[in-house]
Structure 1
Amino acid sequence: MFISPHHPQKIPEDLKAYAREMRKKMPDAEELLWYLIRNRKVAGAKFRRQHPVGRYILDFYCVEKKLAVELDGGQHSEQQTYDQTRDAYLSQQGIHVLRFWNNQMLLETEVVLEAIYLNLSDNNPSLASDEFQMLGRGEGG
């Protein structure tokens, strides 16, 4: 069954409340990325933050390009099965997921922004998930 990530039938109240709470308490890496991509600053793309899709909440989501950007802390090294299931669901919805470590965002900001830009660019095909992300220098990697 296809659930539209753009106009969900009805977002469950608990998920909606959790997304609002997450917007208020963003980690430093998410605050930095939001500052850099908000207001169409990268490739003219509009991003939403903490955007619900199905039963999942995406850190950052560009509806137009169906591109999700996820920033992960160290706990994600222990929940790889969950992340793989989540990414498979999102892929079924036509959403491409870029995943980076928080430390990577903070220490290699330009690399992260370049990967996002290249995935948004109409001149470049969508990059494979492992080309830029989780380069092994961040948390858990």
Structure 2
Amino acid sequence: MPERALRNNSTPAELAVWHRISRFRPAFTRQLVEAPFIIDLACRQAKLAVEFDGSQHLDSVERDARRTAYLQSKGWTVIRLWNSDVLANPDGATLHVLEKAAECLGGTHPQPLPSREGRER
């Protein structure tokens, strides 16, 4: 499916996380092409690939393993989230993705605390 069609037909789980995570930095992007695959949600800076899996993935365990191995060979860290888990707890899923991005960046929080500059003592 072409990239534009994938963006326009995102699953409810993808959208639930995207609407929460899109304002954070480092930036995340949807449907990133890493030929021959398309990553559902990615943070380029952290090299973090997030895959949202639905029931159709129960029959594609071997294909998903090959995909994960390929992306890892290109330096990506891959996490997989079940759509049902994301929809049950979208805030928790988003926090998990942000924590993993911070881990990939060496512990840097993906959205730093506000600067103390200009505050009175």
What's 1:100 paired with?
Answer: 81
Give me the identity figure in percent: 30
Structure 2 length-normalised TM: 0.81
Question: Do structure 1's residue 112 and structure 2's residue 96 form an aligned pair?
Answer: no
Question: What amino acid is the match of 1:55?
Answer: P
Higher RCO, Cα 8 Å, sep 6+: 2
Structure 1 length-normalised TM: 0.70
Match of 2:64 among 57, 71, 83: 83
- Give the number of equivalent residue pairs: 105
**Does the CA-based 8 Å contact 2:20-2:91 persist in structure 1?**
no
Q: Provide structure 2 residue ranges, at least 5 long, that are not aligned to the other structure.
A: 109-121
Question: Do structure 1's residue 28 and structure 2's residue 12 form an aligned pair?
Answer: yes
Distance in 1 between the 2:107 and 2:28 partners? 20
Match of 2:44 among 59, 63, 79: 63
Match of 1:50 among 31, 37, 49: 31
Deviation per residue, 1:12-49 (Å, 9 max, x gap): xxxxx611100001111111111011132xxx220110
Q: Provide structure 1 residue ranges, at least 5 long, that are not aligned to the other structure.
A: 1-16, 125-141
Deviation per residue, 1:83-127 (Å, 9 max, x gap): 000000000000001100111111022331222122122328xxx
**Which of 1 and 2 has greater Rg?**
2
